[in-house]
Amino acid sequence: MRKPRKRSFAELVLENKRQILNDRAALEKLEEKIEKRLGKAE
């Protein structure tokens, strides 16, 4: 079996950046849904 290749620091940074951007987009969608529901509840 081959050892998994270690990623460089730059690769880890890019992967982390992509994950944060994806999460941020998902969080913004959730915030919009919550705001709409709160607006309807009032």
Q: Render pLDDT for 1-42 as a digit per residue (tens, 0 to 9).
A: 677 788 899 999 999 888 878 888 888 888 899 999 988 776
Tell me what pLDDT residue 14 has. Answer: 93
Query: Which positions ≥6 away from 7 have C-beta within 8 Å?
Result: 15
Helix intervals (H) in 1-42: 9-41
Tell me what pLDDT residue 10 has. Answer: 93
> Structure tokens of 35?
């705001």
* Distance separating alpha carbons of residues 42 and 35, to the nearest angstrom: 11
